[in-house]
Amino acid sequence: MGLILGVAIVLQISYPLLDGEALRIVTISTVYWSAGAMALHALLAYGLKYAYRYLGATVIFAFLIELMGVKTGWPFGTYSYDASLGRTLAGVPFVVPFAWVMMAHPLLVAARRVSGSWVFLYGGFALAAWDLFLDPQMVSAGRWHWTFTGAHVPFQPEIPLSNAFGWLLAGMALMAILNQILPRDRRRDSASFGATDFYLAWTYFAGIVSNVFFFSRPGVALIGGICFGAIWIPYVFSRWLGRP
């Protein structure tokens, strides 16, 4: 698992240093390697039942909500994917649901630890906060395109405010589903939470550092850092305080 996660991190590190076809391949590969690392952790930590339900439910949900978004403009707004993301099904690239997979498991772990009965709200806000880093990066690279007039996300004039609300709604729905169908008990001989903890920490710091030093978008670093930090920092304190 460490090797798979390590490959995913190296691919992310290389992102700002590449362009053209190499960047396109790294973009897609990063998603699959990251999703693979989190799926493997889910299997080792919680067992086969958790892993296949998590993968199946997340991929199906993500595909359906993205299909609805592409075809109707709800709940995110009007957008379309670029052909550079590879093969599609009904306008949704195959790789896109796996971007949901790579974040759903670690954020569910965090939400279950921190938020008590409010897993759906904590997890939904967390997914929306993560997208504040993701969307401007992918739009700048031309991976998808928005068509809108009106309010936009702060410091992200190319992205409608409806996208943030859409992610919040969709994220809450997915987290509510996963929290209901996935077992909570870990395997007796299970993987530690080091992989998920590291991946969340990496997502936070990489989102800030890349936007400040590589993409020249300090506003994105600010708004993403505040929102993602609001869910990551309580989780860190929970781990630090050592609650079982």
Helix (H, G, I), strand (E, B) or coil at 167: helix
Both structure tokens of 97: 């649901």
pLDDT for 232: 95
Which two structure tokens, joined as six digits, stand for 108?
Answer: 């569910």
pLDDT digits (tens, 9 = 90+) for 21-65: 999 999 999 999 999 999 999 999 999 999 999 999 999 999 999
64-73, 153-162, 185-194 — which is least confidently predicted?
185-194
- Concatenate the DSSP letters of all residues of 107-138 into one string: HHHHHHHH-GGGHHHHHHHHHHHHHHHHHHHH
- The CB-side HSE value for 161 (13 A sphere, CA atoms) comes to 5
Q: Residue 210 has what DSSP assignment?
A: I
**Rg, C-alpha atoms of the chain:** 17
- Residue type for 102, please? M
Distance between CA atoms of residues 46 and 117, nearest Å: 20
- Answer whether residue 188 shows pLDDT above 80: no
The percent of residues above 70 in pLDDT, for the chain, comes to 99
* pLDDT at res. 243: 57
Count of C-beta atoms within a 10 Å radius of residue 205 = 12
Using the predicted structure, report yes or no on whether residue 218 has a pLDDT greater than 70: yes
The pTM is what? 0.96
Residue type, 204: Y
